[in-house]
Amino acid sequence: MPRPGKEENILSKKNRHTDRPSRKAYERDLRELQIAFGHLQRRAVERELRVCLVFEGRDAAGKDGTIKRITENLPPREVRAVALPKPNDRDRASWYFQRYVPHLPARGEMVLFNRSWYNRAGVEPVMEFCTPAQNKTFLHAAPKFEQMLVEDGIVLLKYWLDITKSEQKARLDARKNDPLKTWKLSPLDAYAQSRWEAYSAARDAMLQNTDHKDGPWRVVRAEEKRTARLNIMRDILHQLAPDLLESAGKQNVDRDIVRGFADGVAGAGFLAP
């Protein structure tokens, strides 16, 4: 995949500082979107929908914060965030997708995966937790697995949150210095910067091989947290219930922030090199 020569190209159209919404505007739009998600959740229950949202991305890209804003006002009985620990011995001895299947949504539920089966496309090959053959098998099998989910009636949306190397460093440093954020630190964070290029290559291979009609990837420029959160929420509503997005203060998705991978992302300076 062609990549831009300079990191600054990633933000060629959007400046993360000048385009940051004011706190007042952010809280206003967020509230309207959270109200719309409340209606979406009730609609899911009434229509017995099964909604599965997958959030992947760079370390410190904003997955936790986005999921929190989506779920914080929704009933935990029907809306669940799933962040699995590292696999145990039985997990490693089982079919790879098996540990994720019990967490898939039942009728009337919405499940948000904070990292998912795509660990085998990112963290695991970079950190050598799986073999190249296992990674290759996964890239071939993931679209088939997701096709089965969709054919069985699950609504699947996948989001990749992307940030630049310098922004990731700033966020990881902030975690070290803020006692309220130290819980986010993990031993793997130490490798996020030193193995940046390997993570980029793994990301590119993942997006190219697992973007398919039943599970297309949505790619997010997540340099500015508030803007990314709002636009992800708008995009979810746009995909699942555009009438609810229309009612949320007539907000529109910024396609320079959230875009389908197939919509001119590759080689367009949309992803951090």
> For residue range 127-180, what is the model confidence (pLDDT) as tens digits?
999 999 999 999 999 999 999 999 999 999 999 999 999 999 999 999 988 888
Query: Which of 19, 28, 57 lies closest to 199 in space, CA to CA?
Result: 57
Question: What are 158's two structure tokens?
Answer: 């996948």
pLDDT above 50 for 7: no
pLDDT digits (tens, 9 = 90+) for 257-269: 999 999 878 777 8
DSSP-derived secondary structure letter, 154? E
Give the separation between CA 98 and CA 104, rounded to whole angstroms: 11
Domain ranges of the chain: 7-260
Fold of the domain built from segment(s) 7-260: Rossmann fold (3.40.50)
Give the separation between CA 257 and CA 159, rounded to whole angstroms: 12
Query: Which of 220, 221, 247 lies closest to 34 in space, CA to CA?
Result: 247
- Residue pair 25/227 in contact by the 8 Å Cβ criterion: no
pTM of the model: 0.92
